[in-house]
Chains A and B, each alone.
Chain A
Amino acid sequence: MWRRILALLKKELLTLLQDKRSRFVVIGPPLIQLLVFGYAASFDLNHVKLAVYNEDGGSASRQLIARFAGSPNFRVVRNVRSHAGIAPLIDNREALLLLHVGPQFGHDLVVGTPAPLQVIIDGRDSNTALIALGYVRTIVSDFNQTWARDHNQQGPPARLQIRAWFNPNLESRWFIVPGIVGLLTLVVTMVVTALSVAREREQGTFDQLLVTPMRPTEILLGKALPGVLIGLFEATLIISLAVFWFDIPLRGQLLTLYTGLLLFLLSAIGAGLMISSLAVTQQQGLLGAFLFLVPAIILSGFATPIANMPAVVQKLTLIDPLRYFMVILRGVFLEQTPFHLLIDQFWPMAVIGICTLAVAGWLFRHRMY
């Protein structure tokens, strides 16, 4: 039995890796993509384009604006001289936000009435707007504290002390890069498995395979093992890049990480083979792969938290293997989560894997064309 599986495994690996173009597609893009995405995918903002409309011009207003100009988050791109200059600037996306200091600003500050600082912000991308507004808030509240202290004004009765654990600087790269490990691993396994049965069906070689002495279980193993091997290989490369290139701390145990990885590969390969054996043509296989891949990534909590989704959609995420792997990746990388706390993430992936593989094996014989 093992000899037969081994023969099929060898043939599968050959189809994937012998063709120069195919070999490149399987190995090259994931690594390049990690490098590019690792830098690109971040919710942190740098050098946000800021315009200033200062009607006051006094030293207090200039001090406040200097705090913005000095922050790495902002870049002053324009000084506006009139009201009319504001709208085109924001409309044409030349600035994301505009600080408007009224003519009474310095006077109000000295007298002790709240001095208004108007901020006009482009809400087309509401998330960026919210984050930028958060930066503005921090700068203004720092300014307020300094001002109150320097002018002996009574401070507020309570102060907020906000601290972030596991990721003290709230760097979103720490959150995103472990997520990308999961994303790319899923893409690679789909590339390896989603078309493998569909291609043989379209070309008619699958019928030949079925009349050989191989049993469906053996075919299944022969088709699944290349995915496991290539997936393990790529994931290891990607994890090493994350750790050594992006300096993401890997605080937990490798054993926990790889247990999760293996179970995730099992479930992803199961899904891929199930799609592939449902498809009769490669185009159908590709359609199926996308219809699984895209929702699996969107609903995994990679970029947007599952907690923000409506209850029905949250239920739907339970059949998404990537959802569990995300928790494992982030837990092991950043939180040093011990093995036993992740068991609730391990078993659903095992269940998904076994179910999808069983269906795929059954479809081998029962979906004939």
Chain B
Amino acid sequence: MNAHPDRRGGTAMRLRGLVRKEFFQILRDPSSIAIAFLMPVVLLLVFGYGVSLDADHIPMAEVTEQPSTDTAAFLAVLRQNRYFDLQPVADMASAEAAMMAGRVNGIVHLRADFGRRLRAADGAPIQVIVNGVDANTGRIISGYMQGVWGQWLQQVAQARGERLNIPVDLQPRVWFNSELRSRNFLVPGLIAIIMTLIGAMLTALVMAREWERGTMEALMVTPVTIRELLLGKLIPYFILGMGSMALSVAMALFLFHVPLRGSLWLLTLASALFLLVALAMGMLISILAKNQFVAGQAALVVTFLPAFILSGFLFDIDSMPVVVQLLTHVIAARYFVAILQTIFMAGNVWPVILGNALALLVMALLFFAVVRRRAHKRLD
């Protein structure tokens, strides 16, 4: 009872016992294993195929008041590319009806005087109406339209034997993701969201369950210290979580063909760090809630939507109001999204990775400190 080394040896033994017990519990209710391995597969499949910002074959109504070779030439360019799916309609009234019913996203309207004004000084108007409800798609449509219009202008100039006269010629170069494949940035971001869910769900109920079932009181009469108890809970779920991370990365690389330009060991290290934060958050929920019902409710409310909306994975953080930007700093997924997008697409860019990893480390320490403080070995 008195010797110091004795106690230490006891720690290892007690810890082993706790971990063993936790593993048995995991095996008995397979939902933990389902969380670790079924969730990432289902969610990555749904997300990976479901979330895409690359619009093509956008249905557009087309109204040509007086068909001619001029209008045909413009419409041919419009039809050539994969962006639009033109549906000719007789007049504006039916085009508007189609847009109200949601059958088309926009209208291309060529007036009767299109051919005549083409030769006039101020040029012919090409009227494009987009349904602005989905503002993002509306913007994408107008961007594509400008591209098509530019192509057509070049053709017209060539046909007239002129050189196209544009003062400034914009030449965009996109780095890291030259085809602008949205999947390349969405999939790494999704992994961060999914790991947030998995980490929190694995641990959100474990402490609360012991309280609720009364087994916490049984544990209290054993020589197990609170630190051993927390470690005993953490280790098994950390192993499960790293397993699901490995599965997610494998899916990203081999199923979605996202390039991995940084190093794998750095990815592993960053994932381990993030997983610690996510698990600690779950534990914190578990300890604060004290019963599974409230813990489960809290996990539903505070994990998914904040990570989804405030992590910068879909919505640009720099464009948010300053107060909201400050708020995003408490969302661990934010740092992990930045790290993952950089490691996958840009490589080992140390300034980005170190800064974000440091933030994760601080969060992990902070969470564990709070967990340690709030987890008492007493009844109340």
User: Which A residues contact B (CB, under 8 angstroms)?
Assistant: 15, 19, 21-22, 25-26, 29-30, 33, 36-37, 39-49, 64, 90-93, 96, 109, 112, 114-131, 133-134, 136-137, 140-141, 143-144, 147-148, 153-172, 174-175, 183-184, 187, 190-191, 194-195, 199, 202, 281-287, 289-291, 293-295, 297-299, 303-305, 307-310, 312-313, 327, 330, 334-335, 337, 341
Verify B131–A166 contact, CB threshold 8 A. Answer: yes
- What residue in chain B is nearest A327 (Cβ atoms)? B102
Interface hit among B4-12, B316-324, B370-378: B316-324
With A48-B318, A313-B49 known as contacts, the answer to whether A307 contacts B146 (CB < 8 A) is: no
A sample of 8 inter-chain contacts (CB < 8 A) reads: A114-B167, A123-B345, A131-B139, A157-B153, A163-B128, A174-B132, A283-B32, A286-B204
Verify B171–A124 contact, CB threshold 8 A. Answer: no
Verify A158–B324 contact, CB threshold 8 A. Answer: no
Q: How far is the CB of A36 from chain B (nearest CB, A)?
A: 6
Q: Is B137 an interface residue (CB 8 A)?
A: yes
Binary per-residue interface labels of chain B (163-182) against chain A in the complex, 1 for a CB within 8 Å, 0 otherwise:
01111111111111110111
Interface hit among B51-59, B230-238, B263-271: B51-59
- What residue in chain B is nearest A93 (Cβ atoms)? B352
Closest A-B pairs by Cβ, 6 of them: A164-B132, A167-B132, A123-B177, A114-B169, A172-B135, A123-B174
Verify B297–A191 contact, CB threshold 8 A. Answer: yes
Q: Is B308 an interface residue (CB 8 A)?
A: yes
DSSP majority for the A interface? helix
- What residue in chain B is nearest A109 (Cβ atoms)? B167
Interfacial chain A residues near B248, Cβ < 8 Å: none
Out of A109, A172, A330, which one reaches B136, CB within 8 Å? A172
Interfacial chain B residues near A40, Cβ < 8 Å: 309-310, 315, 320, 324, 328
- What residue in chain A is nearest B52 (Cβ atoms)? A308
Number of B residues, CB within 8 Å of A: 121
Out of A92, A112, A133, A286, which one reaches B352, CB within 8 Å? A92
Verify B300–A117 contact, CB threshold 8 A. Answer: no
Q: How far is the CB of A262 from chain B (nearest CB, A)?
A: 22
- What residue in chain A is nearest B125 (Cβ atoms)? A161
Verify B35–A287 contact, CB threshold 8 A. Answer: yes
Interface hit among B61-69, B239-247, B287-295, B358-366: B287-295
Verify B324–A170 contact, CB threshold 8 A. Answer: no
Cα–Cα, bound, A124→B258 (Å): 12
Q: Is B1 an interface residue (CB 8 A)?
A: no
Q: How far is the CB of B146 from chain A (nearest CB, A)?
A: 6
Verify B341–A124 contact, CB threshold 8 A. Answer: yes
Q: Is B17 an interface residue (CB 8 A)?
A: no
Interface hit among B38-46, B219-227, B272-280: B38-46
Interfacial chain A residues near B121, Cβ < 8 Å: 155
Verify B180–A143 contact, CB threshold 8 A. Answer: no
Verify B29–A281 contact, CB threshold 8 A. Answer: yes
Cα–Cα, bound, A144→B137 (Å): 26
Verify A307–B168 contact, CB threshold 8 A. Answer: no
Cα–Cα, bound, A308→B352 (Å): 32
Cα–Cα, bound, A191→B165 (Å): 61
Interfacial chain A residues near B168, Cβ < 8 Å: 64, 109, 114-117, 140, 143-144, 147
